[in-house]
Amino acid sequence: MKEYVDRKPPGTSVAVPGIANGICQRCLTEVPEGVYDEWGKRYCRACLTFGHVNETTLLYRQDRPLTPVLHRLVPAFPPTAEQKLAGAYVRDRIVPGGRGFVHAVCGAGKTEILYEGILHALNTGFRVCVAIPRRDVVRELAERLSPIFPDTSIKALYQGSRDDAGAHLLVATIHQLINYHQEFDLVVIDEADAFPFRGDTFLHGIVKKAMKPDAALIEMSATPQDGKPKDAYFLPARFHRRPLDVPIVAYIDGLVATLQNKTIPAAVHNWLRGVKPPRKAMLFVPDIAYGCLLSELLARYGFRVTNVSSQEAAAPLRIRAFREGKVDLIVTTTLLERGVTFRDTDVAVFSAERGIFTKNVLIQMAGRVGRHPEAPTGEIRFFAEIASADMMRAIRAVEAANAVAHRRGLIDDDL
């Protein structure tokens, strides 16, 4: 059911109190005693950014009408044998109360794995939501799915875009699920390991609220999970059957101090000079200030470079310039660690030992390399002053995935 806050929609709806028995009915968070708003009413601080809910608030819940359709699947290319097996795993778990976890390495085709399961769910009459942490990926995925399911109404939900009328399949940021109550028969959480979903009890709560009591839940990730469920499917190879490129560590004493002294270390300079068109490189940095310093220094050395971060309004235009080959280097924070694919791309991580670069973040960054079948390999450098545990764990995880893929006959090259 679609949920409205203090706004009765046209037609039949059910009204429930915003707070009942000390629990916010919109986000399922406990509202502590002694938390009062300016009207002297208990209110929920957990979901305040989505609107004010207090003891007098009414939540109106209304069925969302859908027109029955015979849904079709028109994939752009046939799945690989391993993608078919992973897809069968997903479909078998789209049953009442079903649970599944898919760990597919970067570039293995997580989205393609979902196709048969989504088709089965839609033609069963299920209401389906694919939830993703990031807004830019939501828009891209909705556009990508539209020609794959040509008879299906697909809509993207994110801040600033909330039209779900008639949609059989919703692609949404996880936060948008707060607007639903027991609406979905199937929820897929893509990038389940990503910020902000992982470890966030608030977001887990609104996902649970949006699901019907017997809904199926499929979680997907490109990175290995600590304590992942026993019932999980591991796809360790990309569809083009080439092994994952393994990061190489380049130790540079005084890396940051050298950059601050307006000098590019020789190891960095030599590596960058080796990135020749049509190849280009993504240069990951730990923070915005570091990115500004590095991009200004590279430009001074004559490199064609641009710089993006979450605070940069021109980021989409700069990313497009990089994609189109108008610049050779893009300096970026973790903004571009996942959800983007560029052809002919190498990757370098600067100060890779910093705490922000966890094992999973480093694996995702390395996973930007070699995704295209006509450019299936590339180079990955971890520039660091010392080794961190996460750096070593990331490298071992990539090597382990290659080893499993080799044993299962999923890659053509010898390790």
pLDDT by residue (tens digit) across 2-48?
999 999 999 999 999 999 999 999 999 999 988 899 999 999 999 99
Same domain? 279 vs 220: no
Same domain? 387 vs 253: yes
Q: Does residue 141 fall inside a structural domain?
A: yes
Q: What angle do CA 77, 111, 397 make, to 5 degrees?
A: 115
- Amino acid letter at 148? I
Across 350-354, average pLDDT: 98
pLDDT band for position 227 (cuts 50, 70, 90): low
Q: Does residue 338 fall inside a structural domain?
A: yes
Same domain? 231 vs 253: no
Residue with token string 């707060």:
178
Same domain? 105 vs 57: no
The pLDDT assigned to 415 comes to 44
The pLDDT assigned to 413 comes to 61
The two tokens of residue 153 are: 């109404």
User: Of 235, 264, 279, which residue is a domain's last?
Assistant: 235
pLDDT of residue 228 exceeding 80: no
Contacts of 74 (CB under 8 A, 6+ apart): 147, 148, 149, 150
The two tokens of residue 96 are: 């009442």
Same domain? 94 vs 10: no
pLDDT of residue 229 exceeding 90: no
pLDDT band for position 192 (cuts 50, 70, 90): confident
3-state secondary structure of 250: strand
Q: How many domains does the chain have?
A: 3
Question: What CATH number is given to the structural domain containing 294?
Answer: 3.40.50.300
Q: Does residue 254 fall inside a structural domain?
A: yes
User: Of 235, 264, 293, which residue is a domain's last?
Assistant: 235
pLDDT of residue 414 exceeding 70: no
pLDDT band for position 223 (cuts 50, 70, 90): confident
pLDDT of residue 241 exceeding 60: yes
Q: Does residue 295 fall inside a structural domain?
A: yes
Question: For the chain, what percent of residues have pLDDT higher than 70?
Answer: 98
For 213-242, give one letter per residue: b (16+ CB within 10 A) or e: eebbbbbbbbbbeeeeeeebbbbbbbbbbb
pLDDT of residue 135 exceeding 90: no
pLDDT band for position 171 (cuts 50, 70, 90): very high
User: Of 235, 261, 287, which residue is a domain's last?
Assistant: 235
Phi, psi of 161 (to 5 degrees): -145, 100
Query: Can you give the residue range of the structural domain that contains 173?
Result: 81-235
Q: How do strand 169-173 and strand 154-157 relate by DSSP bridges?
A: parallel
Q: Does residue 122 fall inside a structural domain?
A: yes
Residue with token string 């399949």:
169
The pLDDT assigned to 101 comes to 95
Q: Does residue 74 fall inside a structural domain?
A: no
Same domain? 110 vs 230: yes
The two tokens of residue 310 are: 């979450």
Nearest-angstrom CA–CA distance, 349 and 79: 33
Same domain? 173 vs 272: no
Same domain? 291 vs 403: yes
Q: Does residue 384 fall inside a structural domain?
A: yes
Q: Does residue 76 fall inside a structural domain?
A: no
Length of the chain: 415
Across 64-88, average pLDDT: 95
Nearest-angstrom CA–CA distance, 173 and 221: 16
Same domain? 53 vs 188: no
pLDDT by residue (tens digit) across 277-324?
999 999 999 999 999 999 999 999 999 999 999 888 899 899 999 999
The two tokens of residue 362 are: 């480093």
Same domain? 257 vs 210: no
Mean pLDDT of the chain: 94
The pLDDT assigned to 13 comes to 93
Same domain? 31 vs 101: no
Same domain? 184 vs 286: no
pLDDT of residue 213 exceeding 80: yes
